[in-house]
Amino acid sequence: MMHQENQFQFNYLQIEDIPKLIECVRRCYGESYPFKQIYSPSALEKLVLNQLMHSVVCKDANQNVLGHGALTFSGEENSSPELGKLFVDPDHRGHHIADLLASELVNLSSNLSLPGFWSECVTNHPYSQDVVIAAGGVEVGLLLGDLPATLKMQGENNFSDSRMSLLIYYVPSANAKPSNIFIPESQANHIKSLASHANQARHISTELFSGSGQTKLSSNIDLATLDACIQITSIGSDFSSMIQSEIDTLEKQQLASIYIDLPIGDKAAATAYLTLEKLGFFFGSWLPHFWKNQDVLRMQKIYTQINESEIICARDQGARMKDYVITEMKRVS
């Protein structure tokens, strides 16, 4: 047992807890939770055994799971995992369970010697944002219309006329070495400000270099959310034609959004960013130490309408991020 808080126990998720975890998910979301693996005992067991998901659960005296949170790696090259899958049984809210789960995950991040972790917080209410802010989170992005309106949270605001946006936070957990990043002049002040707030030392270059060699990328589609993500691992001299071809292929799928993870430790990243802007992509989030301990800029292009009034931010920093991202969207459209 990690520790006990009044009538609640906080433990690392064990394989035998998985059925009770799935029951908790269903009490919170029914069948609408977009991470569909969380309904599958075999999929969850695989994630745990492969150490791609490190979970903490809150249980009552009868060993029922009342809350859950996890640090999840998207792959073996992902060096800053996502804090997410954070939810609490509707009948047990108000006991600060989410805060305690987040606190345990911060400790876990330190124990794993991670540089930090990031988190996507829903914007139909500020509560999950408050939890991550209390854990030391700093607003680093906003993904517009990321989740379908079919996601339903028991006991919370559920907007039905548009897709839900996600406010992105980064929680640093260790002092990382300064690194060099390459971004266009238009983004330099913004990223400099974010790095300062996150206490991350960055040497920023706005020089426009051309790529060399071949572009290396991969893409995947999440049919549950109708989102696609293109992950670029090397920016080559053929970047413009390669990325155009990949986007053309994805756009045939009638998606709600496409994200592109751009490695800004690559000298050609500033030039690539401007190429992507011409294709309708704009700033989504800065993700420190995301891939092989290198920073990534997640750019976004959305193919659906959003309702700006439904994006609720917990504090002024979030509201400023909202204004910045929406202004960028309008600038490139």
Q: What tens-digit pLDDT sequence spans the chain (333 residues)? A: 466 666 899 999 999 999 999 999 999 999 989 899 999 999 999 999 999 999 999 999 999 999 999 999 999 899 999 999 999 999 998 889 999 999 999 999 999 999 999 999 999 889 989 999 999 999 999 999 998 876 655 555 555 568 999 999 999 986 778 899 999 999 999 999 999 999 999 999 999 999 999 999 999 999 888 999 999 999 999 999 999 999 999 999 999 999 999 999 999 999 999 999 999 999 999 999 999 889 999 999 999 999 999 999 999 999 999 999 999 999 999
How high is the pLDDT of residue 299?
Answer: 98
How high is the pLDDT of residue 103?
Answer: 93
Q: How far apart are CA 235 and CA 277, in angstroms?
A: 16
Residues written for the chain = 333
* Tokens, residue 210: 């051309």
How high is the pLDDT of residue 178?
Answer: 87
